[in-house]
Structure 1
């Protein structure tokens, strides 16, 4: 459970809900298979695809900061048709109407 930091709610991630895709920030050292297993067990869904990328470091100075790396990467998880994560969808709906 420590692999997934939190769900991401940006304009793009909200649009991806229509395609049955969910976005999470995860630990950078965790593997794709670990994340897939954890999502399938915790949310009781079937994952068919996963895409990941590391976010760029923001605010670079003229001198590079030694040893500074991002501690997370972003995963876009696609679920099989018929599956969804309702707790994330209700969180978005509450934010829209308040």
Structure 2
């Protein structure tokens, strides 16, 4: 991920990150690494040199922040497309 894109995502998520999180950018990096690589907590514990409980907390808080930040731009389908109905009875 390019730094510019990461910075934009961080700016969008910043309002939804708990104030008690000291390293907010690292928290977002842990979450994106988890989502992008399907990394295990133990693997991220080694990669980021963090405690297991910290990785687990960062994932939860980061995912919440990302979902909240992007919630306004996500549109849920309100009806079933005709092509889907004809292909899947």
Larger Rg computed on CA atoms: 2
The structure with more strand, counted as a fraction of residues: 1
Give the alignment's TM-score, normalised by structure 1. Answer: 0.34
Give the alignment's TM-score, normalised by structure 2. Answer: 0.36
